[in-house]
Structure 1
Amino acid sequence: MNVLSIVEQIEELLANASGVPFSSKKMVDGEALQALLEELKANLPEEVRQCEIIIQQKHNILLDAEHEADDMVKAAEERAKLMVEDHEITQKAYQYSRELVADAQRTAKDVRIGARVYADELMADVEKYVGDTLRLVKKNRLELKSGRDERSADPAD
């Protein structure tokens, strides 16, 4: 039996069904309808079954594609987040290195200034010492000269 004749039998079963009083509903022989539906299923063309399989495969493919797209988006978001964090870490490292260089330059400047001040103080001490020594030498020379002059004036010598 072909599909169209089975559909016609179902239509005839519905047309001949008795009505339910005070309602637009009809009472149908359930066993007869079930038998016709099973026969309809058995006689469906292979193309219809293949269409159902194709529709299910299409649905599965779409679900897989959605899951894959979601995974790709999540991976891209995670990568972007890591890149931002890496960029922030790099920026912090550059900032830290700039601060270290600035601190080292300030320290070097302070050391140079301190060394100059210390050298100046040492030179001032040496200058004072040399000045004191020079005065002492001059005084001693004067004393020596005055002592020679006294001896040349002393007839006992």
Structure 2
Amino acid sequence: MDIIKLLDYLADIVETSSKVPMTGKVMIDKKEILEVIDKIGTNLPGEFKKAKWVYEEKERILSEAIREAETLKRENLELLKRQIESHDITKEAKERAEEIISSAQRDAKIMRLGARDYAHEVLSQLEREITENSNNMLNNIKTDMESYYESLTEEIVTTTEIIRNNIKELKNMNK
């Protein structure tokens, strides 16, 4: 079912629900509202799911990179401990550990930036679509309200004219 139709249906439920006197509130069927909201969630565009996946993937990649950096760090420390008697080997191991950590940090940063850019792109596109759809919905509501206002005004004018004519007839009958 189309999200717009579900939102219209939700609005109809609110409009047609029993009113609580003197409060401006209405009583609604909780189960029915929750079902409609669930359907709306089910029918949301794939970009929401993509954005969630991107966020989760970013967290996974960052955790994996940190674990890998920690693992590499531990491995290098063990190597250093075993070769501590040889000063040149110790220096080499320290340099290699620093290179590996630096490389892992660069890789993590690149992954984090890539995930952030992708998430930003997806969320920006989603924001544009939501804004466009919101504007379309607001324009439709405005058009409907203007049409309703015009028809209501015409009805009032017609009814007022009929009442005036009836008053004139009644005055003429009394004469």
Report the TM-score when normalising by structure 1. Answer: 0.47
Report the TM-score when normalising by structure 2. Answer: 0.43
**Which structure exhibits the higher relative contact order, with contacts defined as CA atoms closer than 8 Å and separated by 6 or more residues?**
2
Which is higher, the Rg of structure 1 or of structure 2?
1
